[in-house]
Amino acid sequence: MKRLILTRHAKSSWDDPLTPDHDRPLNERGRAAAADLGQWLASRGYVPGQVLCSDSLRTRKTWAGIAPALPGEPVLELKPALYHAGAEVMLAVLRHATADTVMMVGHNPGIAEFAGRIVAHAPVNPEFGRYPTGATLVVDFVADTWADVGFGQGAVDDFIVPREIMA
């Protein structure tokens, strides 16, 4: 079995309009949401062995907020190809993963498309199609390697958005 934890970066800051998109940091709400996501993942035993993360500042900071709550030290791999990647690119990157449980941290609109296409049946949650900031999908695959994983094969284990954790 393989497990994918698919997380959209937490809420980013638009305070400085001159900051390049790639370099936008998280805002206060995003930092809090990332920490909450880490606690939520840890409380359910969703612990990645490998993290494939876009190289943007907001995705790196999202992971940095999640990581302290998790046991162990997953291998972090910054993947420039995940910056604003579409579903096909995300799947191609995932197929090279090596751990049984992998977390991907990326961006919309590609991550929403990828989430919708990777599962056999979407979770019953009105936020799933929108995949707002911090949205996290946990999906399992019956596969020996990530290279065997394809669209429409995942079984949803969980889906959450940060405001549901705080509620």
Examine residue 110 and state whether it is found in any structural domain, yes or no: yes
Closest CA to 67 of 43, 101, 34: 34
* Residue 167 pLDDT > 80: no
> How are beta strands 136-141 and 101-106 bridged, if at all?
unpaired
Tokens linked to 82 = 């995940």
Domain count, the chain: 1
pLDDT digits (tens, 9 = 90+) for 101-149: 999 999 999 999 999 999 999 999 999 999 999 999 999 999 999 999 9
CA distance 105 to 56: 10
Of 32, 8, 13, nearest to 165 by C-alpha is: 32
The two three-digit tokens of residue 99, written as one number: 């751990």
For the chain, what is the mean pLDDT? 96
CATH number at residue 137: 3.40.50.1240
The answer to whether position 16 is within a domain reads no
SS3 154: strand
Question: pTM for this one?
Answer: 0.96
70 domain-assigned: yes
- b vs e for 98-125, b when ≥16 Cβ sit within 10 Å of the residue's Cβ? ebebbbbbbbbebbbbbbeebbeeebee
CA distance 53 to 51: 6
**66-115 pLDDT, tens digit each:** 999 999 889 999 999 999 999 999 999 999 999 999 999 999 999 999 99
Q: What domain range is 134 assigned to?
A: 2-11+22-166
pLDDT score of 14: 87
Confidence (pLDDT) at 80:
97
Q: Classify residue 17: in a domain, yes or no.
A: no
